[in-house]
Amino acid sequence: MYVRDTIAAIATPLGNGGIGIVRVSGPQAEQIGQVVFTGPGIVGGGGFESHRLFYGRLRHPADGRQLDEGMAVLMRAPRSYTREDVLELHCHGGYYLIRTVLEACIAAGARLAEPGEFTRRAFLNGRIDLVQAESVMDLIASRAERSLQLAHAQREGHLSRAFFAMKEPLLEALALVEAHVDFPEDEVDPTVFAVVEQQIALVLSRVEQLLSSFSTGRVLRDGVSALLLGRPNVGKSSLLNALSGTDRAIVSDLPGTTRDLIEETISLDGLPVKVIDAAGIRSHHTDCIEEEGVRRALDKVAEADLVLLLLDGTTEQHDELPALTAGLGAVPYLLVVTKADLPQRINLSLLTAPLGVCHVSSRNRAGIDHLSRLIYDYFVQTNRLSSDESAVISSVRHRDILLRVLQSLHDFTDSAAQGLPPELLALDLRAALSALGEITGETSTDDLLDVIFSSFCIGK
């Protein structure tokens, strides 16, 4: 909390379009700047000059790969927002890119900031006053609540299960080591160390596997995706604009990999959702517009995490519906009835969808918030996020944690190979557990003693 380490976070709201800023604050800020940023003005000119914007290249410290061209500015303490050394890295605004830059800073030694931590530091260092601080408190509270909800939602999920699954063998390993330390006269068999090492090797491979799934994961790269499906003029483009409009701006408009499709990544409460508009789907044969369009759109369905099935509320006939829903197969969909601002002629009895029905008007924005909420809830609360082992919202945090676990376990393996005594091995195991604890909850001494006393007959 008063930790004087160096923190990093994305400073621009997600979906701010053109430019993204990663902010780093703390004693290592300059050093991190040197690692992730190279520019002619810096290399030749002997480092960062305070409060001056430098142009250069951002790169990842792990493999030296270049990420983007960008700008960097270092604001030396106390003339900065937090009154600590603050580094800002400006890059292009794509969600994936910003996050990679953030990851680079973490790899270079920063810690992912907690919600509101910059402001908190600013306050604690006397930069802002109590009135401002009170709003900070609310901020911290509401953010914390949200992340708590999120944590809750993810608890059942695949990813957190993976974390919990790692905690158990780690705790057992630690218990074995600790029992060996604290009960030298009880009959704790020293050969247990072979077991410990095996267990750690197992966890290690699991961590590595998870990490590799992170870096290759489609979801990490692109966010989750929702496909807009419906016949032409049903209002797909307007809906896309409405969804991404005003408070939810476009994050990036990557040109679609398939020329037919238009994609935009929007941010729903911090959750990046790639919305794919099948508007480009046309057939030149007017007589079979529907058929051909539907067929080609359905090809894309398999790639989507969620389908928004659009129906025009002003028309009565919806012959396309059975074909569409049949084609969707197992892919979950929301029914969206468009043009709610106009007189509705649609037969409501037709409309049942397992995930719900939503009436919207892209013109007066009626129902748009509700739809956003439905989409968000679908991804967050049904644990869809976790289902392919790479949650989106906190993935940087997860990755950060996994990297720390990995480091500690490597330390452990090295120490064990050198034949270091158990109290030093315990240090590494504790570090790994405490990193995991950010997801699984802290491991208390009592938890540890529980494992020790239930595994060994100990005590006089």
Region of 120-128, 222-230, 262-270, 345-353 interacting with other proteins (CB under 8 A):
120-128
Give the residue with the Cβ less far from other proteins, 133 or 331.
133
- Out of 185, 287, 316, 319, point to the residue binding other proteins (CB under 8 A): 185
Distance in angstroms between the alpha carbons of the first and the last residue of the chain: 41
Task: Retrieve residue 87's tokens.
Answer: 């580094």
Task: Retrieve residue 110's tokens.
Answer: 């920063």
| Binding track over 4-23 against other proteins, x by CB under 8 A | xx------------------
- Out of 301, 422, 439, 440, point to the residue binding other proteins (CB under 8 A): 422
Give the residue with the Cβ less far from other proteins, 185 or 319.
185
Helix (H) or strand (E) holding 312: strand 306-312
Give the residue with the Cβ less far from other proteins, 330 or 457.
457
Region of 40-48, 179-187, 213-221, 330-338 interacting with other proteins (CB under 8 A):
179-187
- Out of 35, 140, 357, 366, point to the residue binding other proteins (CB under 8 A): 140
Which residue pairs from 216-219 have beta carbons closer than 8 angstroms and sit at least 24 positions apart in sequence? 217/388, 217/389, 217/390, 218/388, 219/385, 219/388, 219/390, 219/391, 219/392
Task: Retrieve residue 16's tokens.
Answer: 């701010």
Give the residue with the Cβ less far from other proteins, 362 or 408.
408
**Cα maximum dimension of the chain:** 89
CA dist., res. 143 & res. 90, Å (int): 25
Give the other-Cβ count within 10 Å of 113's Cβ.
22
- Out of 35, 71, 136, 254, point to the residue binding other proteins (CB under 8 A): 136
Query: Quick check: 268 and 95 in contact, CB under 8 A?
Result: no
- Out of 125, 344, 381, 413, point to the residue binding other proteins (CB under 8 A): 125
Q: Phi then psi for 53, rounded to 5 degrees?
A: -85, 125
CA dist., res. 225 & res. 340, Å (int): 25
CA dist., res. 291 & res. 187, Å (int): 76
Query: Quick check: 19 and 93 in contact, CB under 8 A?
Result: yes
Region of 160-168, 208-216, 228-236, 439-447 interacting with other proteins (CB under 8 A):
439-447
- Shortest approach of other proteins to residue 140 CB, angstroms? 5
Asked whether position 165 contacts other proteins by CB under 8 A, the answer is no
Contacts of 394 (CB under 8 A, 6+ apart): 147, 150, 154
What residues form DSSP beta bridges with 265? Answer: 252, 274
Give the residue with the Cβ less far from other proteins, 2 or 63.
2
Asked whether position 1 contacts other proteins by CB under 8 A, the answer is yes
- Shortest approach of other proteins to residue 13 CB, angstroms? 21
Region of 140-148, 215-223, 288-296, 297-305 interacting with other proteins (CB under 8 A):
140-148
Region of 23-31, 345-353, 402-410, 418-426 interacting with other proteins (CB under 8 A):
418-426
Region of 44-52, 68-76, 119-127, 267-275 interacting with other proteins (CB under 8 A):
119-127
- Out of 55, 183, 193, 376, point to the residue binding other proteins (CB under 8 A): 183
Give the residue with the Cβ less far from other proteins, 117 or 264.
117
Residue 62: helix, strand or coil by DSSP? coil
Asked whether position 144 contacts other proteins by CB under 8 A, the answer is yes
DSSP 260-280: T-EEEEEEETTEEEEEEEGGG
Region of 14-22, 129-137, 246-254, 329-337 interacting with other proteins (CB under 8 A):
129-137
Asked whether position 138 contacts other proteins by CB under 8 A, the answer is yes
Of 422, 441, 460, 434, the closest CA to residue 197 belongs to: 422
Contacts of 395 (CB under 8 A, 6+ apart): 214, 220
Residue numbers at the binding site for other proteins (CB under 8 A): 1-5, 114-116, 120, 123-126, 130, 133-134, 136-138, 140-141, 143-144, 148, 178, 181-187, 418, 421-424, 426-427, 430, 444-446, 448-449, 453-454, 457-460
